[in-house]
Each structure stands twice: as C-alpha cells, then as structure tokens.
Amino acid sequence: MVRQKATVSMILILLGFLLLPSFLFAQMQEYKDYTIVKGDTLWDISQKELQDPFLWPKIWKENPDIMNPDRIYPQQKIKIPLYILQKEISIPEVTEAKIKREEPKKEMVEKVEPPKKEYLVDKKLLIASGYITDSVHSVGSIVDSPSDRTILGKDDYAYIKTDNPSKIGDKFYIIHPVEKVVHPKSGLALGYLIEVLGIAEVVGQDGSETKIKITDSYSDVSTGSLLDSYYEIEPPSRAETPRKPDLNGYVVATKELRLINGMLDIVYLDKGRREGLEVGDLLATLIQGKHRVVNGTIQVINTRESTATAIVRKSSNAVTKGDEVIGIK
C-alpha cells in the first residue's frame, strides 16, 4: 500500500513538471514588443499582428504612452497584447482516484456562456455623435438652474419648461442645433446639424418649476439648451465582414465644426438609407485635390433617410468637410 501511494505521488509530480512549460509559455506570450515603422497605423498593426483591424483600441489601451491613436511615430516601441489570440485551456484536475480509476467517471456538464457582444461603437459615443435632421424638433428647454449657473454638467440640477406636463422619472435628450448644413459642392440645404449634449431626468418640483438632474453629459450644457424626446439606444453589433458599398458622396459636416479630423472623430455624409447605406458600412475618403488619392477609412454608425453619421477609423491625412467619399475597392 505504501509503495502504491508513492507511485501515485511520483505520477502527480511528473504531470506537474510536464504541464509547467505550458504555463510558462502562455505567460511569456501575453505581449509582444513591436517597433513602429514609417507608415504604420494602429489599424494596420492590429490587422498584421492580431488578424483583426478592429482590435486596434485594445493595443491603444495597453500603451498609455500613446496620447492620440492617430499620432504614432517611427522607432516608437509598443506592446502588442497577444493574449487576445490565446484561447483558454482548462487543465483537468489530476487526483489519485482518477489515476487509480477507483471511481467511475462522472458526466461533466459544460456551462456554455452566451457569446459576449462586440459593439460597433461605444453607446455614449454613438449618442454624442449627433445627426443631421430636416428640422429642429424639441419638446422644451432648460431655462435656469438653482445655482444660477449658465454652464452645467453631469449631476447638476436645472429647471425646465416643456410643451406638455412632465412627471418624476421622465427623461429627455439635451440637444443643441449647431448649424444649418449646406452641401459644400452643390450649395443645397441639407438640414440642421444636431449635437446631443447629454441626458436629463425629472426629479421633482421646486414650487412651480420642474426640476431635472443631468444624468449624463457629453459636452457643456448651457441654459437655453433644447430638450428632445428620450428613447433607448442600443449600439449596433460589430459585423465580422462589414459591407463595402459602391457609392459616391461627400463629407458635408464635422462634429463641433472641426476643420481637421482624424481617427475616432465624427463626420457626416450626404448619403443615407435612401441610397442603400447601412450601419457598419465601410467607405474610403479621398484627399481634395487634382488627384483622386485615398486618404482613409470611415465607418457608418448611424443612418437617416438622406444623411449618415460616420466615425473615422483610419486616416493618413486630415479628413475635412468637402472630402469625397467612395466605395472601397
């Protein structure tokens, strides 16, 4: 009996030594050092090293020294998180009972976790990206604040006036019409660029005034900002193979009226559902000039009847109002 126990112990020790290199190898392979070369972008590096360009935010997250993902430089050293590619390997527990086969095998029921959703874009970014609409729609406005401040933010309180009576728990989007959008090429009016500043919820009454709390803010909220009806927004899921429709259009406006836009910035297009554009579609932008030179890649995150909102996924130069948009070949 003593000899049998000694034999079992030796087997367990040998199994431990056999499995140890696998653990060490997995630990050694969690990251890879990478040196930036001229022309590199996080998008390209993610495609080359992780086989998926849409994983570039994970590389950015692992490299806090990169302040702007659109600004990386030759000879800069970064870490590639290879653990993203590794599949978890569950190592069965080795016991004396299993080695000696003294106990019958028990049927193991594997718990299947539902697949984790991968969204095309963060929910807050999607809401804050705004849209172009034919006319400005509102159901009320912010008129004042208990502190008499005119610039407000998250968790601040304010007073509102609405077209219809509101009750505790009612929610609103806080919006601001930025400008009337005119097509940069044709000169035709396309509508109004609407910026979503935040979300407000009615919390009670102060005398005759309706009081709200700003539960989310994506930009400064000022007294005089408009309120629009609230509805739940679910970010679209990321498709493994995004569509690349064949169409021609233009960037007709940019978020916050920026003149220069790069990776993760928001732009607005003169094409929408009417032209067959869908959320998730990838398009290329061209540099304005004599030659039709591809500048970068944008992805549609919201569509309306005749316009769309897109995020810059990749750019070698600034994306600006008036840039032509084409299908990716």
pLDDT in tens, 104-141: 555 556 665 655 678 888 899 999 999 999 999 999 99
Enter the tokens of residue 57.
């935010």
Residue boundaries of the structural domains of the chain: 2-100, 123-229, 248-326
pLDDT at 2: 45
pLDDT at 263: 66
Q: What is the pLDDT of residues 52-93, one digit of tens each?
A: 777 777 888 888 888 777 778 888 888 888 877 754 334 444
Cα separation, 37 vs 75, whole angstroms: 6
Average pLDDT over residues 287-314: 92
The residue whose two tokens read 């972008």 is 41
Element (H, E) at 100: helix 96-100
Total H helices, total E strands in the chain: 5, 17
- Contact indicator for 224, 142 with CB cutoff of 8 Å: yes
Could you tell me what percent of the chain has a pLDDT over 70? 79
Asked if CATH classification 2.40.33 holds for the domain at 248-326, the reply, yes or no, is yes
Q: Do domains 2-100 and 248-326 have the same CATH topology?
A: no
- Per CATH, the architecture of 2-100 is what? Roll (3.10)
**Distance between the two ends of the chain, CA-based, in angstroms?**
74
Distances (CA, A) of 267 to 204, 243, 323: 38, 19, 10
Is residue 217 pLDDT above 80, yes or no?
Answer: yes
Dihedral over Cα of 127, 316, 119, 305: its sign: positive
Cα separation, 169 vs 73, whole angstroms: 49
